[in-house]
Structure 1
Amino acid sequence: MTIRKRLTLRFTSLVSSILLLAFVSIYAFCWYFISSDFYRRLDRKANTTGDMLIRHRLDAQLIQQLGRIRKDQLPNQKIIVFNGRDSIIFNTNETLIVTIPKSLLADIRQNKQKDFQKDGYYLSGTRFMTASGQYVVIASAENSYGDEFLRRLLWALTGLFILIAGMTAFSGWFFAGDALRPMQQIDQTVNDIFPQNRDERLVINKDDDEISRLSATINRLLDRVAESFQLQRMFVANVSHELKNPLTQISSQLEVSLLNQREPEAYRQTIRSVLDDVSELAALTHELLQLSQVNQENAVGMLTDTVRMDEIVWDIRDEVTAINSRYQIIIELGTLPDDPDQLAVQGNKTLLATALKNLTENACKFSDDGQALIHINFIPNRLIISIQNTGQPIPTADLPYIFEPFYRSRKTTDVRGYGVGLSLVERIIHLHQGQISVTSTLGKPTVFSIGLPR
């Protein structure tokens, strides 16, 4: 069922329920008022007849004559008086037969007064107590005008209910369609965006309503999707470039070696060159494998070590300085906690060491003097590691993409590497529920900051 149909159905059901409750209440009030008024009139007639016949002991014939000449006779009015032995001692309108069970007479004697309906007649019974015994006077009549009014009222209310319910359903269908029209436009626009018009965006109205906010959210999502496509194309292009160079070199060297007969030393030199290219491919494959293995699904089984970060930092200093004698690393420790266990984090020692080593080696590699500064600061429930260097800043246009796999700035094209290191670092830090950020401006050090929960 469509949203439009559901809204129409719910709106109609709500209005119909309220309307039905109101109409039933009106009908019940009218029925109660008309019935009560008619029973009150019957009760007056029963009491009047009882007073004249039983208490004032007027002649029955006189009472019947007085009743016939009165102008307030009710339709098919009949009055019956029973004595203590349930025998009829007075009866008007003898042509009309109304049967009164003895159990009903006993009930009237017990309750003093009773109003009820029988065979389409309204009856009101009253008990009279005298020295000679208990009498029961019952007045009955047809409430023709009241019943006709109630019938017409019922038909009027039923017709009005059907009319209003129909109008409500039509109005609900119309207004639901009008309210959902922007959604249909959004659906049409989004369908038209892919795959041809990826740069097209939804129109955002000036009204700050739910549709406008939804359109803005979808536009942001489309921006992220477009950015993902761009990064994907960039990733494929970079991987193709990284794989193409060594493969082309291998193919060229082997083809040249097969053109002419050469000395054994020339073949050995070609084989060594090919081995170097194969080693580059193996290193690239290893980095891609590392990148694919570090994901959130493996976090539970990987983050089982208690890692002292200060010890890792000292080990990394030794490893990085051993790579290049030009590299220098300075370590600064903030205020140390009293409890040595506060220097530890829960995680994977190998992965954390890999992340810090990549950042430290990059800091030394791109520093003007080959020097990097590692600063460790301890705050409640968090450990902050900052790695900074002095040198050319990272271009502002490149900052949003430096953590993407195989992304390399123009300034780093002549530096050996594959552009996988920072992407691997970011995944490792996020795997440990941490955050990584970078600040790089002209005239100030470039700083990579890592925050890890303790």
Structure 2
Amino acid sequence: MTIRNRLTIRFTGLVSSILLLAFVSIYAFCWYFISSDFYRRLDRKANTIGDMLIRHRLNTDLIQQLTRIRKDQLPNQKIIAFDQRDSIILSTNESITLTLPQSVLSNIRQTREKEFRQDKYYVVGARFMTASGQFVVIASAENKYGDEFLRRLFWSLTGLFCLIVAITAFSGWFFANDALRPVQAMDRTLNAIFPKNRDERLPLYHDNDEISRLSQTINQLLDRVNESFRLQRMFVANVSHELKNPLTLISSQLEVSLLNERGPEAYRQTIRSVLQDVTELASLTHELLRLSQLNQNDAVSLLTDQVRIDEIVWDVRAQVNAINPHYKVTVQLGTLPEEPDQLSVQGNKTLLETALKNLTENACKFSDDGKARVEVDFQEAVVTIRIQNQGNPIPTADLPYIFEPFYRSRKTAEVRGYGIGLSLVERIVRLHRGRVQVSSSVGQPTVFSIMLPR
């Protein structure tokens, strides 16, 4: 079922329920008022006849004559009086037959008064106490005008209810269509966007309503999807390129070796070269595997350690200094907190060590003198780690893309690597709910800053 039909049905059902409750209340009030008024009129007639017959002891013939000549007779009015032995002592309008069971008379004597319906007649019974026993006077009549009014009121309300429900259903269908028109336009636009028009976006209005906010959210989603497609294409292209070079080298060397007979030393040299290319492929595959395994869903299972930042920094310093004799890493710790626990953050020691090692090694690799400086600042809510070096600044055009997988600028293309390290650093920091920033300009050191929440 479409949203339009669902909204129409719900709107119509709500209005119909309210309208039905109002009409039923109106009809019930009119029925109660008309019935109560008619029963009061019958009660007055029963008490009048009872007073004349029982208390004032008027002659029955005189009473019948008086009831015939009175002008306030009710339609098909009939009065019956019973003595203490349930014998009829007065009966008017003999053309109407009103049968009353013995149980009804007994009930009237017990309750003093009784109002009830018998077929189309309204009936009221009243009890009169005398020294000789209990008398019962029954007054009955048809409420023709009241019943006719209620019947017309019922059909009028029924017709009015059906008319209003029909108008409500049509109005709800029309207004639902009008309200959903922007959604239909969004649907057509979104169907036209993929796969060819990924740069097209939904139009934004200044109404600041739910549709406008939804359009803005969808545009942001489309931006992220478009960025994902771009990264995916770049990732595939770069991986293909990185895999193609060593595979081509391996194939070429093996083909050359098979052209002519060579000496053992030549074959050993070829095997060593091929082994080196295979090692590079294995290293690249390992880095890709580590990059693919890091995602936000792993945070709960991975970030379970209390990691001492000062210990990791000193370990990274030792590891990087051992990589190359020209590398030199200096560490400067800020004001240390009094409590040792404040030196720690919750996370994964191996991952944080990998991130710091990659940044520190890059700082030494791209510095003019092979030196890098690591500064740690312990604050109340965050731990900030800065890795800086002196050297050629990162081009401004490259700064937005340095954390993307396999991205390598012209400056870094001359240095051996795969372009995965900074992407891996960014994912590790984001996994720890932190953020990484970089600043690089001419005449100033290049600084990578990692902010980890305490």
Structures share fold, TM-score greater than 0.5: yes
Give the match's secondary structure for 1:398: helix
Distance (Å, rounded) in 2 between the aligned partners of 1:295 and 1:220: 21
Distance (Å, rounded) in 1 between the aligned partners of 2:358 and 2:276: 22
Q: Does 2:327 align with 1:323?
A: no
Question: Against the structure 1 CA distance between its residues 443 and 80, is the aligned structure 2 distance closer, same or farther, given a 3 Å change threshold?
Answer: farther
1:425 alignment counterpart: 425
1:155 alignment counterpart: 155
2:83 alignment counterpart: 83
Question: Against the structure 1 CA distance between its residues 201 and 303, is the aligned structure 2 distance closer, same or farther, given a 3 Å change threshold?
Answer: closer
Deviation readout 1:373-399 (Å, 9 max, x if unpaired)? 212222335433222233343334433
Q: Aligned pair count? A: 454
Distance (Å, rounded) in 1 between the aligned partners of 2:130 and 2:113: 16
CA displacement at 1:17 relative to structure 2: 0.5
Distance (Å, rounded) in 2 between the aligned partners of 1:266 and 1:243: 25
Distance (Å, rounded) in 2 between the aligned partners of 1:210 and 1:299: 33
Stretch moving more, 57-66 or 335-344: 335-344
Structure 2 counterpart of 1:163, one-letter code: L
CA displacement at 1:58 relative to structure 2: 2.1
2:311 alignment counterpart: 311
Deviation readout 1:110-133 (Å, 9 max, x if unpaired)? 332221111221011222233333
1:350 alignment counterpart: 350
Deviation readout 1:144-202 (Å, 9 max, x if unpaired)? 11111111111111111112112211211121122112212211211111112111111
Distance (Å, rounded) in 2 between the aligned partners of 1:332 and 1:309: 12
Give the match's secondary structure for 2:114: strand
1:234 alignment counterpart: 234
Distance (Å, rounded) in 2 between the aligned partners of 1:210 and 1:300: 34
Give the match's secondary structure for 1:449: strand
Stretch moving more, 250-259 or 366-375: 250-259
1:386 alignment counterpart: 386
CA displacement at 1:32 relative to structure 2: 0.5
Distance (Å, rounded) in 2 between the aligned partners of 1:364 and 1:43: 112
Distance (Å, rounded) in 2 between the aligned partners of 1:304 and 1:63: 105
Distance (Å, rounded) in 1 between the aligned partners of 2:171 and 2:442: 64
CA displacement at 1:225 relative to structure 2: 0.8
Distance (Å, rounded) in 1 between the aligned partners of 2:261 and 2:130: 150
Matches within 5 A, 1:180-259: 180-259=180-259
Structure 1 counterpart of 2:438, one-letter code: V
Distance (Å, rounded) in 1 between the aligned partners of 2:301 and 2:66: 107
Deviation readout 1:19-58 (Å, 9 max, x if unpaired)? 1101100110110111011111111111221222222222
Structure 2 counterpart of 1:109, one-letter code: R
Stretch moving more, 102-111 or 87-96: 102-111
CA displacement at 1:346 relative to structure 2: 4.1
Question: Against the structure 1 CA distance between its residues 157 and 301, is the aligned structure 2 distance closer, same or farther, given a 3 Å change threshold?
Answer: closer
Distance (Å, rounded) in 2 between the aligned partners of 1:169 and 1:100: 51
Distance (Å, rounded) in 1 between the aligned partners of 2:208 and 2:340: 54
Q: Does 2:138 align with 1:138?
A: yes
Distance (Å, rounded) in 2 between the aligned partners of 1:247 and 1:327: 32
Stretch moving more, 136-145 or 264-273: 264-273
CA displacement at 1:343 relative to structure 2: 2.4
Distance (Å, rounded) in 2 between the aligned partners of 1:14 and 1:119: 38
CA RMSD of aligned residues (A): 2.3
Provide TM-score, normalisation by structure 2. 0.92
Give the match's secondary structure for 2:12: helix
Distance (Å, rounded) in 2 between the aligned partners of 1:274 and 1:205: 61
Question: Against the structure 1 CA distance between its residues 60 and 362, is the aligned structure 2 distance closer, same or farther, given a 3 Å change threshold?
Answer: same
Distance (Å, rounded) in 2 between the aligned partners of 1:306 and 1:202: 46
Structure 2 counterpart of 1:200, one-letter code: E
Question: Against the structure 1 CA distance between its residues 426 and 56, is the aligned structure 2 distance closer, same or farther, given a 3 Å change threshold?
Answer: same
1:108 alignment counterpart: 108
CA displacement at 1:102 relative to structure 2: 2.8
Give the match's secondary structure for 2:311: helix
* Structure 1 gaps, min length 5: none
Stretch moving more, 47-56 or 425-434: 425-434
Stretch moving more, 16-25 or 335-344: 335-344
Question: Against the structure 1 CA distance between its residues 437 and 214, is the aligned structure 2 distance closer, same or farther, given a 3 Å change threshold?
Answer: same
Question: Against the structure 1 CA distance between its residues 288 and 174, is the aligned structure 2 distance closer, same or farther, given a 3 Å change threshold?
Answer: same
CA displacement at 1:345 relative to structure 2: 3.6
Stretch moving more, 103-112 or 265-274: 265-274
Stretch moving more, 264-273 or 83-92: 264-273
2:171 alignment counterpart: 171
Give the match's secondary structure for 1:403: coil
Deviation readout 1:253-288 (Å, 9 max, x if unpaired)? 444445555565555444443333333223222222
2:16 alignment counterpart: 16
Deviation readout 1:37-90 (Å, 9 max, x if unpaired)? 111111111122122222222222122111111111111100111222222111
Matches within 5 A, 1:254-265: 254-259=254-259, 265=265
Distance (Å, rounded) in 1 between the aligned partners of 2:212 and 2:292: 39
Deviation readout 1:188-243 (Å, 9 max, x if unpaired)? 21111111211111122232211111111111111111111111111112112222
Structure 1 counterpart of 2:327, one-letter code: Y
Question: Against the structure 1 CA distance between its residues 442 and 21, is the aligned structure 2 distance closer, same or farther, given a 3 Å change threshold?
Answer: farther
Give the match's secondary structure for 1:94: coil
